[in-house]
Amino acid sequence: MTTDHTLTAENLTIGYGDRVVIENLDLLVPPGRITAIVGANACGKSTLLRSMSRLLAPRAGHVLLDGREVHRMPAKELARTLGLLPQSPIAPEGITVADLVGRGRNPHQRILSRWSRQDDLAVAAALDATHTAELADRSVDELSGGQRQRVWIAMALAQQTEVLLLDEPTTFLDVSHQVEVLDLLTDLNADRGTTIVMVLHDLNMAARYADHLIALAAGSLHAAGDPATVLTEDCVRAVFGLDSQVIVDPVSGKPLMLPIGRHHVRDQAAEPRADQAAQS
């Protein structure tokens, strides 16, 4: 199953105060696929996600969901189709995990409507998928950073939107939980056809899990497309100012970026060849 919602940016210019962060950006998010946005710090990744979710109004241009400007759509109508997990969400003081995850159902509540069994099932499924059901009665204030991040992801899942934007969803998570969350998002995409757009700092995780990569550099689109096309040594140098070697990931078959720094670089010329080693 694949959703057919289209999310695009046309000639988009956004910023804060007098500072322009992104200028004249044209962008198409492939429907029903997983897209990862990558780039150096302060290149505009989170700002772009905020504008795509209508949290930040554009100075020029448009963000369109199914051909409609998101900034002109009623908030609840948009929230039934498009969900956002921001970078640093803040929970109300003293709220329990179950209550916070339940707030993901707010866009589906009508005037005078009651909480339904469907809402209960959505919350339970989200808690189960993120392995946070055992935390349901605890205060969010008491949780570790990693636990809180999984609870926020559960709230986003409970919203059951067909387009989901996530700003650094693996923040605060150890490597096993990073893989678990990205596997979960992959399952969501495969099972429900949910269009997923996420900002990731880990280039190799982005290349492994995304169908489509968007590389931003200095507020502009540097490259977009299949990870094998986008994640190249030239792209890493242009976007991050970093020399690297890109090889094939032996686990996933996707591109794997190996950074080259000033230290701990093997001197191949000084190493004995295999035939020389055998003779000695």
User: Does residue 53 carry a pLDDT above 80?
Assistant: yes
Q: What is the pLDDT of residue 267?
A: 76
Cβ atoms 57, 71 nearer than 8 A: yes
Q: Kindly report the average pLDDT of the chain as a whole number.
A: 91
Domains annotated for the chain, with CATH where assigned, are: 7-221 (3.40.50.300)
User: Does residue 278 carry a pLDDT above 70?
Assistant: no
Higher pLDDT, 257 or 114: 257
Reported pTM: 0.89
Render the chain in DSSP notation, one character per residue: ------EEEEEEEEEETTEEEEEEEEEEEPTTSEEEEEESTTSSHHHHHHHHTTSS--SEEEEEETTEEGGGS-HHHHHTTEEEE-SS--PPTT-BHHHHHHGGGGGGPPTT----HHHHHHHHHHHHHTT-GGGTTSBGGGS-HHHHHHHHHHHHHHT--SEEEEESTTTT--HHHHHHHHHHHHHHHHHH--EEEEE-S-HHHHHHH-SEEEEEETTEEEEEE-HHHH--HHHHHHHH---EEEEE-TTTSSEEEEE--SSS---GGGSPPHHHHHH-
User: Does residue 25 carry a pLDDT above 70?
Assistant: yes
124-165 pLDDT per residue, tens: 999 998 999 999 999 999 999 889 999 999 999 999 999 999
Sign of CA dihedral 211, 212, 217, 222: positive
Confidence grade of residue 114 (pLDDT, cut at 50, 70, 90): confident
